[in-house]
Structure 1
Amino acid sequence: MNGPTDSSGSGGSLQSRRIALKRWNILREVLLNGKFNHISNDTVSVRRFKSFGLLLTEKLPNKGEIISEGQWFIYRSDKWPEFYMHIRHLSDHVSPASLCGFNNTGNVCVWPSEEVLTYYCLQHLDMFKEASVIELGGGMTCLAGVALGIQSNAVHVELTDGNEASVANLEMIIKRNSPRCKASLTTRVLRWGSEPLDPSLVGKFDIVLCADCLFFGEGRSDLVKTIDELLKPEGRAILLAPKRGNSFDQFAHLAQSMFQVDIEQQYDDAVWGMHLKMTEKGIEHYDADIHYPWLMKLIKLPGTRESSSER
């Protein structure tokens, strides 16, 4: 895939053009210096809102590891005092080469949708009992998948991303957390649309998880097809993503050819409460269109895999 296109629907206003220019200046700094150290104007970056505060993080000492390559954190939640997981974040150093190829956004940060998906899964652990689960496009952390591996009674959880650096990091995360995992955890590179799905994955999973993977327009139909191929006949997918202009609705429209599509805006009191609180602060701090994740559930329609394989 190529880089993301702007689907925010903001039009060609003077303010939008100014923000776009500043974003290009950020990219220029990254390409020249390999790192971006400051954000001078909050309106420049979609990262101005970073978290719903559902998970607590604490930096851990780097024992013998080169700090410039990665940093370990411990993730906890006040709601589940016994729960914790060790997660390694990749360095914020970015090379020009790493900006090329398959989507690299999951190496940059943990997006709010991934945080909310993790919280949602922990809230609904019964859903994953004896299930085979796969997380798609989980970036460098696959927070939801790792949390399920530790806390749920799933049989197996597969952590995937299309970026090799992410998957290498996931291997380290699995190794660090494996002594406490209830479920089997594995990871692999998985890219929808670029190559045929590995036959060993076809029809293997009860549940597919996905957070904020809908904004690449050229990949949406491939993602729908991949989810269909991965799921068992009675399987379901759980997706959380912001509206991002019309990207969410366009994906939902595509998915209706293969799935029953259920969409919820208000699915958790804590998430909704934080959304309302941040909305009051204004768009300078929080833009619901790019920050608030809507819940989409996909349930396979009878015979979809057979019909899709005929096309």
Structure 2
Amino acid sequence: MDPTSSSSLRWNILRQALLRRSDSQSQAETKRISRKATQGFNLFPSQVVDSSPQSDHSREACVCYTIPTTGSPKLYLTKRVDNCSDLNDFEISNRYNIDNTGLVCQWPSEEVLAFFCKSQPDRFRGKRVIELGSGYGLAGLVIAAATEASEVVISDGNPQVVNYIKRNIESNSMAFGGTSVKAMELHWNQHEHSELTNTFDIIVASDCTFFKEFHKHLARTIKMLLKAKEPSEALFFSPKRGDSLDKFLKEIKDIGLHYVLTENYDAQVWKRHETLVKGDEAWPNYDKNHCYPLLIQITNHI
């Protein structure tokens, strides 16, 4: 195998994560091939406010996000910062048939989802909302803090991630006003959640369509969660990533749901995208197909 090929370099990223070591050459190779962004779309001012040196939390930091809206409210998210995985991460992934991408970083599509939602408070006011595959929960927390939704459920299938969500909800409880906020472990391949059937006005999710083996379960979950007899919608933000998004949208259509795909949905996000396409050191390997999230609005009715 060519050591400079994309596949070889991606295997090297995994090797570094497992061995917890890297050198200057491997760091340069990782930067060249990885789609991970240092600052993403840079839509929320943020800064690390605590990085604990204690052995129990040496992998974590607390990051303060300022919501760009009236009063500039702040949210504090505890997350991993060491860019390493351990065997326990993979053991849990295998046990629950899930991925561990929610632990890796705050993904750019989640940032875009959060920014879009805070810009449309009327869309969420008084609504029951659930976020799927939330990772550390930025979008769900922004909705809870900035839109006056009646309830926000922040869910993920990875129990490690859900523990972070619970901690982040607790850290920001004073920011939610009258909005009820809770974390939930929700697996898309388990459909016995009768208490959740047809209960949500809005579903939100970001970058949840990458793994094709989860498409059918995800489509079924959307249909189960959305209110059937009242106006309801799912708002997904996902890059095309080859044919992955197209295959997911086929599952949406096959299950009897409808969707509208929008490329330019926010002037500030689009302007940032155009800047990144031209070249930006903050995201050196930016590629529209793999990095720019499209907006997919999914409904029960046309």
Q: Give 3-state SS (helix, strand or coil) of 1:27's partner.
A: helix
| Greater mean deviation of Cα atoms: 172-181 or 39-48 | 39-48
Q: Give the Cα separation in 2 of the matches to 1:147 and 1:154.
A: 10
**How far off its partner does 1:284 sit?**
5.0
Note the residue ranges of structure 1 that are not aligned, 5 or more in a row: 1-11, 303-311
Map of 1:87-236 to 2, 5 A cutoff? 87-92=77-82, 93-100=84-91, 101=93, 102-139=98-135, 141-182=136-177, 183-193=179-189, 195-233=190-228, 234-236=231-233
Contact 2:51 / 2:58 at 8 angstroms: preserved in 1? no
**How far off its partner does 1:99 sit?**
2.5
Equivalent residue letter for 1:124: Q
Residue number in structure 2 paired with 1:51: 40
Residue number in structure 1 paired with 2:61: 71
**Corresponding residue to 1:40 among 20, 28, 33:** 28
Q: CA RMSD in A?
A: 2.3
Q: Give 3-state SS (helix, strand or coil) of 1:159's partner.
A: strand
Q: Give the Cα separation in 2 of the matches to 1:29 and 1:168.
A: 26
Contact 1:227 / 1:237 at 8 angstroms: preserved in 2? yes
**How far off its partner does 1:199 sit?**
1.3
Q: Give the Cα separation in 2 of the matches to 1:245 and 1:81.
A: 40
Contact 1:203 / 1:230 at 8 angstroms: preserved in 2? yes
Normalised TM-score (structure 2): 0.88
Residue number in structure 1 paired with 2:266: 268
Equivalent residue letter for 1:159: I
Contact 1:201 / 1:230 at 8 angstroms: preserved in 2? yes
Q: Give 3-state SS (helix, strand or coil) of 1:185's partner.
A: strand
Q: Give 3-state SS (helix, strand or coil) of 2:113's partner.
A: helix
Q: Give 3-state SS (helix, strand or coil) of 1:82's partner.
A: coil
| Greater mean deviation of Cα atoms: 49-58 or 230-239 | 49-58
Question: 1:285 aligned to 2:272?
Answer: no
Residue by residue over 1:168-193, the C-alpha shift from the partner in whole angstroms, topping out at 9 and shown as x without a partner, is 01111111111221211000111101
| Greater mean deviation of Cα atoms: 68-77 or 234-243 | 68-77
Q: Give the Cα separation in 1 of the matches to 2:287 and 2:295.
A: 17
Residue number in structure 1 paired with 2:49: 60
| Change over 3 Å in CA distance of 1:53–1:79 after alignment to 2 | farther
Q: Give 3-state SS (helix, strand or coil) of 2:233's partner.
A: strand
Q: Give 3-state SS (helix, strand or coil) of 2:28's partner.
A: coil
Contact 2:33 / 2:285 at 8 angstroms: preserved in 1? no
Equivalent residue letter for 2:33: V
Contact 2:37 / 2:108 at 8 angstroms: preserved in 1? no
Question: 1:296 aligned to 2:296?
Answer: yes
**Identity, % of aligned pairs?**
29
Q: Alignment length, in residue pairs?
A: 286
Residue by residue over 1:192-232, the C-alpha shift from the partner in whole angstroms, topping out at 9 and shown as x without a partner, is 01x22411111110000010000111110110100100111
Q: Give 3-state SS (helix, strand or coil) of 1:295's partner.
A: strand
| Change over 3 Å in CA distance of 1:36–1:80 after alignment to 2 | farther
Question: 1:20 aligned to 2:41?
Answer: no
Residue number in structure 2 paired with 1:248: 245
**How far off its partner does 1:97 sit?**
2.4
Contact 2:60 / 2:79 at 8 angstroms: preserved in 1? yes
Residue by residue over 1:261-291, the C-alpha shift from the partner in whole angstroms, topping out at 9 and shown as x without a partner, is 1010010111111111111128953111111
Residue by residue over 1:129-162, the C-alpha shift from the partner in whole angstroms, topping out at 9 and shown as x without a partner, is 11000000001x1111101111111110000001
Contact 1:19 / 1:43 at 8 angstroms: preserved in 2? no
Note the residue ranges of structure 2 that are not aligned, 5 or more in a row: none
| Greater mean deviation of Cα atoms: 206-215 or 246-255 | 246-255
Q: Give the Cα separation in 2 of the matches to 1:78 and 1:179.
A: 18
Equivalent residue letter for 1:83: P
